[in-house]
A and B are shown apart, each in its own frame.
Chain A
Protein backbone atom coordinates (compact mmCIF):
# COMPACT_ATOMS: atom_id res chain seq x y z
CA UNK A 1 0.00 0.00 0.00
CA UNK A 2 1.28 3.45 -0.90
CA UNK A 3 2.04 5.46 2.21
CA UNK A 4 3.60 8.74 3.29
CA UNK A 5 4.77 9.43 6.86
CA UNK A 6 6.06 12.78 8.07
CA UNK A 7 8.09 13.41 11.21
CA UNK A 8 8.12 15.03 13.60
CA UNK A 9 4.46 15.99 13.95
CA UNK A 10 5.45 19.30 15.52
CA UNK A 11 8.73 21.19 15.75
CA UNK A 12 9.60 24.27 17.75
CA UNK A 13 12.71 26.21 16.83
CA UNK A 14 14.33 29.40 17.93
CA UNK A 15 14.90 31.96 15.21
CA UNK A 16 18.16 31.07 13.46
CA UNK A 17 18.15 27.45 14.66
CA UNK A 18 18.43 25.24 11.57
CA UNK A 19 16.70 21.87 11.38
CA UNK A 20 15.16 19.31 9.03
CA UNK A 21 11.72 17.82 8.44
CA UNK A 22 11.43 14.22 7.26
CA UNK A 23 9.05 12.62 4.76
CA UNK A 24 9.29 8.83 4.42
CA UNK A 25 7.39 7.15 1.64
CA UNK A 26 6.46 3.72 0.35
CA UNK A 27 5.13 3.86 -3.17
CA UNK A 28 5.07 1.69 -6.26
CA UNK A 29 7.12 3.66 -8.72
CA UNK A 30 7.59 7.23 -7.65
CA UNK A 31 6.61 9.77 -10.30
CA UNK A 32 7.13 12.81 -8.13
CA UNK A 33 7.42 14.05 -4.55
CA UNK A 34 5.93 17.41 -3.65
CA UNK A 35 6.32 19.78 -0.73
CA UNK A 36 3.63 22.26 0.25
CA UNK A 37 3.35 24.92 2.91
CA UNK A 38 0.03 25.56 4.68
CA UNK A 39 -0.69 28.58 6.84
CA UNK A 40 -3.53 28.40 9.41
CA UNK A 41 -6.92 28.81 7.78
CA UNK A 42 -5.46 28.74 4.27
CA UNK A 43 -5.05 26.25 1.49
CA UNK A 44 -1.68 24.56 0.87
CA UNK A 45 0.82 26.43 -1.28
CA UNK A 46 3.14 24.54 -3.60
CA UNK A 47 6.87 24.73 -2.81
CA UNK A 48 8.88 22.05 -4.65
CA UNK A 49 8.74 19.04 -6.92
CA UNK A 50 11.43 16.33 -6.79
CA UNK A 51 11.50 13.56 -9.37
CA UNK A 52 14.47 11.31 -8.68
CA UNK A 53 16.89 10.30 -5.94
CA UNK A 54 19.72 12.76 -5.53
CA UNK A 55 17.72 15.73 -6.73
CA UNK A 56 17.72 18.94 -4.67
CA UNK A 57 15.66 22.14 -4.88
CA UNK A 58 16.15 25.40 -3.00
CA UNK A 59 14.02 28.42 -2.26
CA UNK A 60 15.21 31.09 0.14
CA UNK A 61 15.84 29.32 3.49
CA UNK A 62 14.33 26.02 2.34
CA UNK A 63 16.10 23.14 0.65
CA UNK A 64 14.41 19.89 -0.32
CA UNK A 65 16.31 16.67 -0.99
CA UNK A 66 15.23 13.23 -2.13
CA UNK A 67 16.47 9.67 -1.64
CA UNK A 68 14.84 6.41 -2.69
CA UNK A 69 12.96 6.15 0.60
CA UNK A 70 12.61 9.65 2.00
CA UNK A 71 12.78 13.36 1.47
CA UNK A 72 14.08 16.06 3.77
CA UNK A 73 13.07 19.69 3.97
CA UNK A 74 16.02 21.54 5.44
CA UNK A 75 15.33 24.94 6.99
CA UNK A 76 18.40 27.12 7.40
CA UNK A 77 18.34 30.00 9.91
CA UNK A 78 14.55 30.06 10.08
CA UNK A 79 12.55 33.20 10.79
CA UNK A 80 9.17 33.49 12.55
CA UNK A 81 7.48 33.91 9.15
CA UNK A 82 8.55 30.35 8.29
CA UNK A 83 6.07 29.10 10.91
CA UNK A 84 3.51 26.92 9.11
CA UNK A 85 2.52 23.33 8.49
CA UNK A 86 4.65 21.64 5.84
CA UNK A 87 3.01 18.90 3.81
CA UNK A 88 4.69 16.20 1.77
CA UNK A 89 2.89 14.33 -1.04
CA UNK A 90 3.85 11.63 -3.51
CA UNK A 91 2.51 10.70 -6.90
CA UNK A 92 2.70 6.99 -7.60
CA UNK A 93 3.43 5.29 -10.89
CA UNK A 94 2.41 1.85 -12.09
CA UNK A 95 -0.33 0.65 -14.42
CA UNK A 96 -3.10 1.81 -12.10
CA UNK A 97 -1.65 5.25 -11.70
CA UNK A 98 -4.02 8.11 -12.23
CA UNK A 99 -1.68 10.72 -10.92
CA UNK A 100 -3.38 10.98 -7.55
CA UNK A 101 -1.40 12.55 -4.76
CA UNK A 102 -0.95 10.79 -1.44
CA UNK A 103 -0.37 13.30 1.34
CA UNK A 104 1.40 12.91 4.65
CA UNK A 105 -0.11 14.30 7.82
CA UNK A 106 2.24 17.26 7.91
CA UNK A 107 4.79 18.79 10.27
CA UNK A 108 3.75 21.93 12.13
CA UNK A 109 6.73 24.24 12.52
CA UNK A 110 6.82 27.08 15.03
CA UNK A 111 9.75 29.49 14.95
CA UNK A 112 10.07 31.73 17.98
CA UNK A 113 11.84 35.11 17.83
Chain B
Protein backbone atom coordinates (compact mmCIF):
# COMPACT_ATOMS: atom_id res chain seq x y z
CA UNK B 1 0.00 0.00 0.00
CA UNK B 2 1.21 3.49 -0.88
CA UNK B 3 -0.82 5.15 1.92
CA UNK B 4 -1.35 8.87 1.30
CA UNK B 5 0.38 10.26 -1.77
CA UNK B 6 0.84 13.97 -2.37
CA UNK B 7 2.10 15.70 -5.49
CA UNK B 8 4.04 17.79 -6.17
CA UNK B 9 6.58 17.72 -3.36
CA UNK B 10 7.89 21.18 -4.21
CA UNK B 11 6.35 24.08 -6.13
CA UNK B 12 7.23 27.71 -6.72
CA UNK B 13 4.47 30.07 -7.85
CA UNK B 14 4.20 33.71 -8.66
CA UNK B 15 1.59 35.85 -6.94
CA UNK B 16 -1.76 35.46 -8.69
CA UNK B 17 -1.07 32.08 -10.26
CA UNK B 18 -3.34 29.15 -9.55
CA UNK B 19 -2.45 25.53 -8.96
CA UNK B 20 -3.75 22.26 -7.56
CA UNK B 21 -2.10 20.10 -4.93
CA UNK B 22 -3.03 16.48 -5.47
CA UNK B 23 -3.78 13.97 -2.72
CA UNK B 24 -4.68 10.32 -3.13
CA UNK B 25 -5.09 7.53 -0.59
CA UNK B 26 -5.45 3.80 -1.23
CA UNK B 27 -6.75 2.76 2.19
CA UNK B 28 -10.46 3.33 1.46
CA UNK B 29 -10.59 6.02 4.15
CA UNK B 30 -13.76 8.05 4.46
CA UNK B 31 -12.17 11.07 6.09
CA UNK B 32 -9.63 13.27 4.30
CA UNK B 33 -8.23 16.65 5.21
CA UNK B 34 -5.71 19.31 4.29
CA UNK B 35 -3.44 21.06 6.80
CA UNK B 36 -0.84 23.73 6.46
CA UNK B 37 2.21 23.87 8.70
CA UNK B 38 4.00 27.13 9.37
CA UNK B 39 6.87 27.81 11.80
CA UNK B 40 5.55 28.67 15.24
CA UNK B 41 1.92 28.09 14.20
CA UNK B 42 1.53 24.35 14.32
CA UNK B 43 -0.69 22.42 11.93
CA UNK B 44 -3.87 24.25 10.93
CA UNK B 45 -6.85 22.66 9.22
CA UNK B 46 -7.79 24.14 5.84
CA UNK B 47 -10.61 21.91 4.55
CA UNK B 48 -11.85 18.44 5.25
CA UNK B 49 -14.18 15.82 3.81
CA UNK B 50 -16.14 13.08 5.53
CA UNK B 51 -16.90 11.23 2.31
CA UNK B 52 -17.26 11.55 -1.44
CA UNK B 53 -19.32 14.63 -2.33
CA UNK B 54 -19.05 16.16 1.15
CA UNK B 55 -16.59 18.88 2.08
CA UNK B 56 -16.40 21.54 4.78
CA UNK B 57 -14.19 24.38 5.92
CA UNK B 58 -11.56 24.17 8.57
CA UNK B 59 -9.77 26.88 10.52
CA UNK B 60 -8.06 28.67 7.59
CA UNK B 61 -10.10 28.06 4.39
CA UNK B 62 -9.76 31.43 2.65
CA UNK B 63 -8.02 31.26 -0.72
CA UNK B 64 -8.44 27.50 -1.06
CA UNK B 65 -11.02 25.25 -2.70
CA UNK B 66 -11.52 21.51 -2.43
CA UNK B 67 -13.71 18.85 -3.98
CA UNK B 68 -14.19 15.14 -3.31
CA UNK B 69 -15.56 13.32 -6.32
CA UNK B 70 -14.12 9.94 -5.31
CA UNK B 71 -13.20 8.27 -2.04
CA UNK B 72 -9.54 8.16 -3.07
CA UNK B 73 -8.83 11.73 -4.19
CA UNK B 74 -8.98 15.08 -2.42
CA UNK B 75 -7.29 17.88 -4.39
CA UNK B 76 -6.59 21.31 -2.92
CA UNK B 77 -6.85 24.29 -5.28
CA UNK B 78 -5.18 27.63 -4.77
CA UNK B 79 -7.24 30.08 -6.78
CA UNK B 80 -4.91 33.08 -6.83
CA UNK B 81 -1.71 32.44 -4.93
CA UNK B 82 -0.48 34.97 -2.37
CA UNK B 83 2.83 35.11 -0.47
CA UNK B 84 0.88 34.36 2.74
CA UNK B 85 0.17 30.92 1.29
CA UNK B 86 3.85 30.00 1.36
CA UNK B 87 3.81 26.95 3.59
CA UNK B 88 4.14 23.20 3.80
CA UNK B 89 0.86 21.47 3.02
CA UNK B 90 -0.13 18.06 4.34
CA UNK B 91 -2.95 15.83 3.27
CA UNK B 92 -4.21 13.39 5.89
CA UNK B 93 -6.82 10.65 5.98
CA UNK B 94 -8.54 8.50 8.56
CA UNK B 95 -10.54 5.27 8.46
CA UNK B 96 -13.74 6.91 9.61
CA UNK B 97 -15.20 10.11 10.83
CA UNK B 98 -18.11 10.09 13.23
CA UNK B 99 -18.20 12.75 15.92
CA UNK B 100 -20.27 10.41 18.07
CA UNK B 101 -17.27 8.12 18.38
CA UNK B 102 -14.49 9.24 20.69
CA UNK B 103 -11.24 9.53 18.80
CA UNK B 104 -12.75 9.02 15.36
CA UNK B 105 -10.88 11.07 12.79
CA UNK B 106 -8.02 11.71 15.18
CA UNK B 107 -5.79 8.84 14.10
CA UNK B 108 -4.62 10.42 10.90
CA UNK B 109 -2.36 9.06 8.19
CA UNK B 110 -0.36 11.92 6.68
CA UNK B 111 1.27 12.32 3.31
CA UNK B 112 4.87 13.47 3.05
CA UNK B 113 3.96 17.08 2.37
CA UNK B 114 4.09 19.62 -0.42
CA UNK B 115 6.33 22.63 0.07
CA UNK B 116 4.88 25.68 -1.68
CA UNK B 117 6.65 28.99 -2.16
CA UNK B 118 4.75 31.99 -3.51
CA UNK B 119 6.90 34.85 -4.76
Write the residues of chain A forming the contact surface with B, with a CB cutoff of 8 angstroms: 4, 31-32, 34, 36, 41-46, 49, 51, 87, 89, 91, 97-101, 103-106
Known: A43-B90, A98-B56, A100-B58. A91 touches B106 (CB 8 A): yes
Contact A49 B43 (CB under 8 A): no
* Interface bracket on B: 20 to 34
- Shortest distance between the CB of B49 and any CB in chain A (Å): 12
B residues sitting closer than 8 Å to A (CB atoms) are 4, 35, 40-45, 48, 56, 58-59, 90, 92, 97-99, 102-113
A-B CB contacts (within 8 Å), total count: 71
Are B59 and A100 in touch, CB under 8 angstroms? yes
Bound Cα distance A6, B53 (Å): 36
Contact (Cβ within 8 A) B105 A46: no
**Is A43 a contact partner of B113 (Cβ separation < 8 A)?**
yes
Q: For residue B56, which residues in chain A have a CB less than 8 angstroms away from its CB?
A: 98
Question: Which residue in chain B gives the minimum CB-CB distance to A92?
Answer: B99
Bound CA span A20–B107, Å: 22
Whether the pair B106, A89 counts as a contact (CB closer than 8 A) is: yes
Q: How far is the CA of A43 from the CA of B45 in the complex (A)?
A: 14
Selected contact of B40 from candidates A51, A103, A105, CB within 8 Å = A105
B residues less than 8 Å from A51 (CB atoms) = 102-103
Q: Which A residues are CB-close (under 8 A) to B110?
A: 43-45
- In the complex, the answer to whether A91 meets B105 with C-beta atoms within 8 Å is yes
Query: How distant is A33 from chain B, measured CB to nearest CB, in Å?
Result: 8
Nearest chain B residue, comparing its CB with the CB of A91: B106
**Contact, CB under 8 Å: A43 / B99:** no
Q: Are B112 and A49 in contact (CB under 8 A)?
A: no
Given known A41-B113, A104-B42, contact A99–B104 (CB-CB < 8 A): yes
Q: Which 7 A-B pairs have the closest CB atoms?
A: A43-B110, A32-B103, A99-B105, A103-B43, A103-B42, A105-B42, A99-B99
Contacts beyond the supplied A45-B110, A97-B99, A105-B40: 7 A-B pairs with Cβ under 8 Å? A32-B102, A43-B113, A44-B90, A49-B103, A89-B106, A100-B59, A101-B108
